[in-house]
Every structure is written in C-alpha cells, then in structure tokens.
Chains A and B, each alone.
Chain A
C-alpha cells in the first residue's frame, strides 16, 4: 500500500554540523516530494519541495535530493543552527488521489549550541 518511511526518528547534532534525513516511498508513480518543518506548538510549514523531473534542489542551507530508481529522497541541512531544531516531515504525492500527500512519521532534530 501507500507508504512513506522516514529515518531517523530523532537526530541530535552540534551547531555547525550537517544533518541528513532520509525518506523512502512505495509508489513509483509519485511525482512530488515536499518537506515540512514544524516548530514546537506550531503548524507544519513547507520549507522545500522537489518534483520528479529533477534530482536535486537547493535553497541556501537546505537541499533535497531525489533518487527515483531507488524511490528515496533526502533532506540535507548544512551549517545547522539552534533555530533549525524542530520536527521535520517528508511527504510524497501519490498518483492515485487528488493532491493526496502521505507523510512520513517525522524526525525530531535537535541542534545543540
């Protein structure tokens, strides 16, 4: 069935280090992969997304890579800062439903000064 697996569930890094979160998806026809950041007590907010026709996208300190053959995509945060501490969700748009996103279970990232 439709599924998105996200790893790790928790990630702790030192300020300035890089953080990588990985997701795999089950539907080979998926064509859109957003990443959401949720700060404590707040709503999820889109931070970056990638469509199936590109392999990598960057926006300042964050980047997302997509490997369609292996059906996985990753979020990369470089030069982490304490304000990057949050829960990050990956998602994949499945072809069977209108704008249906299946979310991963989330990764709690802690950046220590």
Chain B
C-alpha cells in the first residue's frame, strides 16, 4: 500500500528543545516536501527536496531544517522550537513527471500536531 508515514503524530514540547519529525514514503518518489497548516492560511510549504541531497526552501522555511540522505526519508528538524511553530505539519511526496501536460499527484502523510509551550 502506498504510504507516507510521519512521526510523531502528536507532540507537546517546550521552547528551545530540539525536535525532529520523521517522514518516510514507500513509493520511490523523488520529490518530498513539508507543509504546515494553520487556520485561515491553508497549506504553506516549508521545504522541499527534488532528490537525495537536493533540498530547497519553500515559502516559510524560517526556524526549520531538513535533510535528504536517503530517497525514502525526509525529516523535518526544529533546532530551537518557538510557540509560533505550533501547527499541524504534513509531509508529502510525489513522483517527478516531466512536461507541463503531466499531472503530479501529491500524497500526504497523516499529519503531526505540534504544540510548543
């Protein structure tokens, strides 16, 4: 079964305590990304990765880091979490299809609820 798996699903942490949210996909997708979802703001992209060792900033990268050492894994790292990073986080993956007439279905993980106090 095609899956994007992220952990933890729920986490309450304190300001400044480093944390990592893991993400793994089993579809051999090249492209992976992280989004945060906040009320009234929709889904905003944090970072994305085109392939192993290739990552780039999305629209809201401040306060986050990522790495892509293996194709299937794309962890999100909060080095020093702050309360404004309290949010619902989604990892996503898709295959890289060439050409403007090809669609790109993005598969989302189940989400990670993060609260920073």
Give me the interface of A with B, judged by CB distance under 8 Å.
6, 9, 31-32, 34, 42-46, 49, 51-53, 89, 91, 93, 97-106
Q: Distance (Å) between the CB of A88 and the closest chain B CB? A: 11
User: CB-CB < 8 A to A51: which residues of B?
Assistant: 101, 103
Instruction: Given the known inter-chain contacts A43-B90, A98-B50, A99-B96, please indicate yes or no for A49 contacting B43, CB distance below 8 A.
Output: no
The answer on a CB contact under 8 Å between B90 and A98 is: no
Could you write out 25 A-B pairs with CB less than 8 Å apart? A31-B100, A31-B101, A32-B100, A42-B110, A42-B111, A43-B90, A43-B109, A44-B43, A44-B90, A44-B108, A46-B106, A49-B103, A51-B101, A52-B100, A53-B101, A89-B42, A91-B43, A97-B48, A98-B48, A98-B50, A98-B96, A100-B45, A103-B35, A103-B43, A105-B42
Using a Cβ–Cβ cut-off of 8 Å, how many residues does chain B contribute to the interface with A? Answer: 25
Q: Which 3 A-B pairs have the closest CB atoms?
A: A43-B108, A103-B43, A103-B42
User: CB-CB < 8 A to A34: which residues of B?
Assistant: 103, 105-106
B86 at the interface (CB under 8 A from A): no
